[in-house]
A and B are shown apart, each in its own frame.
Chain A
Amino acid sequence: MIESAQAATIVLNGEPHELAGATSALDLVAEVTGRELREDGTPADGGRLGIAVAVNGEVIRRGGWSGFVLTDGHTVDIVTAVQGG
């Protein structure tokens, strides 16, 4: 059985989320934020992204997003700064 050929379902920010095909953390961040990203996770427009990613409760460093392939059952949190404190 070829796992990668199947659609994977992850939990993204608390909600079920279908992945169309092989998806890296980088692909997902780009999709969710609508920003074009470089391979190292920085925005192509040169600005700051202000986003962090945790998978199953562990932080995935920005530089590792492109090499981190999401698979069925992963719990992914994409967080940013909001008003508070």
Chain B
Amino acid sequence: MTWTIDGTDLSSRLVMGTGGASSLSILEDALQASGTELTTVAMRRFDAESRDSVFTMLQRLGIRILPNTAGCYTARDAVLTAQLAREALETNWVKLEVIADEDTLLPDPIELFAAAEELVLDGFTVFAYTNDDPALAKRLEDAGVAAVMPAGAPIGSGLGILNPHNIETIVSRAHVPIILDAGVGTASDAALAMELGCTAVLLASAVTRAHDAQAMARAMALAVESGYLAAGAGRIPKRPLALASSTFDGLVAAR
């Protein structure tokens, strides 16, 4: 089942990041193994030595590019970075990321919200990377972002989803896609995100920094699909005690 952003249908529910890979060829193998159709890049000053770029590679692979505003601390810098990305990459999609400090890399909610409002007004399709705060998620949706992307845990931490209840609350009240972004460490984290009702999962480090990036990419693709199917399948309720799956009728008893 596809999902839709800004009128574009996407089959894969795994959005990939490109940060953290030790080489472009390892990244390319991982992206292909992941089956992703949407992948983030950062915007930085041009460096003649990096001419054989990730941009060229993503075009060659036919993967849609989602520029981000990684590294921005203020709404002002994030808006300028988004505008530069739109001009350079010819897309009005942007992953809005406004961080508070470099130790946690957690979003600064005040600057994030200000930037989201401005970018929506400027015609951007905004994917807002945010804290796992249901109130802020709602405010971002009301401001007109196309997708809300709550963090499971700090970027690159691999701690998984620290507050599943918040993610579930965000999902239950949302009318835009919720994409679990950041914190995924292994496949079960990605599956859990989908089981909680997320539309998609965005991850980078869990794959690009894995010992075998290609294998982990495939694992993530399967986990996302698996979690999505499980979410729609109607899981059994949790019970405090056992419920036998074999009948007790006709039971043999030794004397």
Main SS class of interface, A: mixed
Interface segment among B39-47, B162-170, B240-248: the answer is B39-47
Q: How far is the CB of B100 from chain A (nearest CB, A)?
A: 17
| Contact between B41 and A61, CB atoms less than 8 A apart | no
A-B contacts at CB below 8 angstroms, number = 105
Q: Mark B96-135, 1 if CB is under 8 A from A, else 0.
A: 0100000000000000000000000000000000000000
Is A17's beta carbon under 8 Å from chain B? no
Query: In the bound complex, what is the Cα–Cα distance between A67 and B143 (angstroms)?
Result: 37
| Contact between A82 and B80, CB atoms less than 8 A apart | no
Q: How far is the CB of A48 from chain B (nearest CB, A)?
A: 7
**Is the interface on chain A under 10, 10 to 19, 20 to 34, or 35 or more residues?**
20 to 34
Is B90's beta carbon under 8 Å from chain A? yes
Interface segment among B3-11, B51-59, B219-227: the answer is B51-59
Report if A81-B89 is in contact (Cβ < 8 Å); known contacts: A34-B48, A57-B80: yes
Is A7's beta carbon under 8 Å from chain B? no
| Contact between A81 and B84, CB atoms less than 8 A apart | no
Chain B residue contacts of A79, Cβ below 8 A: 43-46, 84, 88
Question: Considering only CB atoms, which chain A residue lies closest to B41 in the complex?
Answer: A81
Chain A residue contacts of B41, Cβ below 8 A: 81-85
Instruction: Apart from A83-B20, A84-B17, A84-B71, list 20 A-B contacts with CB within 8 A.
Output: A34-B48, A49-B88, A50-B53, A50-B55, A50-B88, A52-B43, A52-B84, A57-B80, A59-B80, A59-B83, A62-B87, A77-B84, A79-B45, A79-B46, A80-B46, A81-B89, A83-B27, A84-B40, A84-B42, A85-B95
